[in-house]
Amino acid sequence: MPLVNSLKMFEQAYKNGYAIGAFNVNNMEIVQGITEACKEENAPVILQVSKGARAYANHTYLVKLVEAAVIECPNIPIVLHLDHGPDFETCKACIDGGFTSVMIDGSALPFEENIAVTKKVVEYAHAHKPYVTVEGELGTLAGIEDEVSHAVGSYTRPEEVEEFVRRTGVDSLAIAIGTSHGAYKFKPEQCTRNADGVLVPPPLRFDILKEVAKRLPNFPIVLHGSSSVPQNYVAMVNAHGGKMPDAVGVPEEQLREAAKLPVCKINIDSDLRLAMTGTIREFFDEHPEKFDPREYLKPARANIKELVRHKLRDVLGCAGKADECR
Ligand code: G3H
Ligand code: 13P
Ligand code: ZN
């Protein structure tokens, strides 16, 4: 089947209490790892591309890699989504260039300016044939590792969401309830430590999520910054020359809980980066004489695939849901 927008996926995810995984893609091995997992698990998926990914890999290469995945996985609904679109022009370039969904991230702007730019993107995207879905954002995520994070975050104000959705016409809304981008989501002083010395973060603000959900019935909510920063990969990185002390993510039980609520899209990037980097570091440590990229990218791709399978089955709940999302 051709690329799809997110309408049907979110309708089913909302109704049936699961979430669609939105995984960031930057190269062929990442696209393959994710989509091979989805094919085996019969799961719908959102492949998302950031401004940084477009700068790194080039728009055309990424679109063609995703189109290759569509051919290889004919029964899996796949959305090609712009992650954190910074302005109208970038969104327009992606809509014109084959994306089926875009995010316009006006979350750092004053409320009225966020509404204005989001509405402009929605008008363009919805007039496109076929209809392109749009995600907006209210509230900002803190974080330090990518181009889209702010030094300080601020929770979404539930009293603003109805007006934002009504005036912009967005198809989904990203909210800030305590997640953040990257592998250091919580400062050690915000956490406690378990018996193994691993940081245990404070809970997400489910009270805000529930209040937003009450104000926006039947409306899909999106969670960014939802990597769990698996401690086995942090340990693998650190055991093989890396230095990521106190890296900590969102506990998977909390994401599982969110997926049962109106959260229909859960964004995961850092976990894939960790799986890839840990695997490659280990490989080089164990095989210092090797230099064929295929030899170290192959296990990295395999571990991305295993990680994604685990997310689909055990966290998001969307394994086996491809058919109802078609
Ligand atoms: O939300 C941000 C994603 O992890 C993308 O990060 O801007 O480094 O590509 P990036
Ligand atoms: P993570 O850094 O938690 O993987 O978040 C990814 C994300 O939100 C992409 O938009
Ligand atoms: Zn994000």
Please state the atom number of ligand 2 nearest to the C-alpha of residue 229.
3
Whether the CB-CB separation of 245 and 290 falls below 8 Å is answered with no
How many whole angstroms separate alpha carbon 22 and alpha carbon 43? Answer: 12
How many whole angstroms separate alpha carbon 308 and alpha carbon 303? Answer: 9
179 C-alpha to ligand 2 centroid (Å)? 9
Determine which residue's CA is closest to atom 4 belonging to ligand 1.
269
Residue 213 confidence (pLDDT)? 98
Determine which residue's CA is closest to atom 3 belonging to ligand 2.
225
Q: H helices of the chain, where?
A: 7-16, 28-41, 51-57, 59-72, 88-96, 111-127, 158-168, 206-215, 231-239, 252-260, 270-286, 293-310
One pLDDT digit (tens) per residue for the chain, 326 residues: 999 999 999 999 999 999 999 999 999 999 999 999 999 999 999 999 999 999 999 999 999 999 999 999 999 999 999 999 999 999 999 999 999 999 999 999 999 999 999 999 999 999 999 999 999 999 998 765 556 666 677 999 999 999 999 999 999 999 999 999 999 999 888 899 888 888 899 999 999 999 999 999 999 999 999 999 999 999 999 999 999 999 999 999 999 999 999 999 999 999 999 999 999 999 999 999 999 999 999 999 999 999 999 999 999 999 999 999 99
141 C-alpha to ligand 3 centroid (Å)? 8
Residue 234 confidence (pLDDT)? 97
81 Cβ below 6 A of ligand 1: no
Residue 198 confidence (pLDDT)? 82
Residue 149 confidence (pLDDT)? 65
Which ligand has the minimum distance to the alpha carbon of residue 268?
A: 2
255 Cβ below 6 A of ligand 2: no
147 Cβ below 6 A of ligand 1: yes
Q: In sequence order, what are the beta bridge partners of 192?
A: 200
149 Cβ below 6 A of ligand 1: no
Catalytic residue positions, numbered: 83
Query: Distance from first CA to last CA of the chain, Å, rounded?
Result: 8
Mutate to test the pocket of ligand 2, among 150, 227, 304 (most ligand atoms within 8 A of CB): 227
Domain ranges of the chain: 7-325
Residues in the chain: 326
**DSSP 8-state assignment for residue 184:** B
- pTM equals 0.97
Cis-peptide into 245, omega within 30 deg: no
24 Cβ below 6 A of ligand 1: yes
Q: Which CATH architecture has domain 7-325?
A: Alpha-Beta Barrel (3.20)
Phi-psi group of 190: left, alpha or beta (phi > 0 → left; psi -120 to 50 → alpha; rest → beta): alpha
CB atoms within 10 A of CB 136: 27
114 Cβ below 6 A of ligand 2: no
50 Cβ below 6 A of ligand 1: yes
Please state the atom number of ligand 2 nearest to the C-alpha of residue 250.
3
Residue 102 confidence (pLDDT)? 99
Whether the CB-CB separation of 281 and 242 falls below 8 Å is answered with yes
Structural tokens at position 10: 């979110």
145 C-alpha to ligand 2 centroid (Å)? 10
Q: Half-sphere exposure of 134 toward its Cβ, with a 13 Å CA cutoff?
A: 29
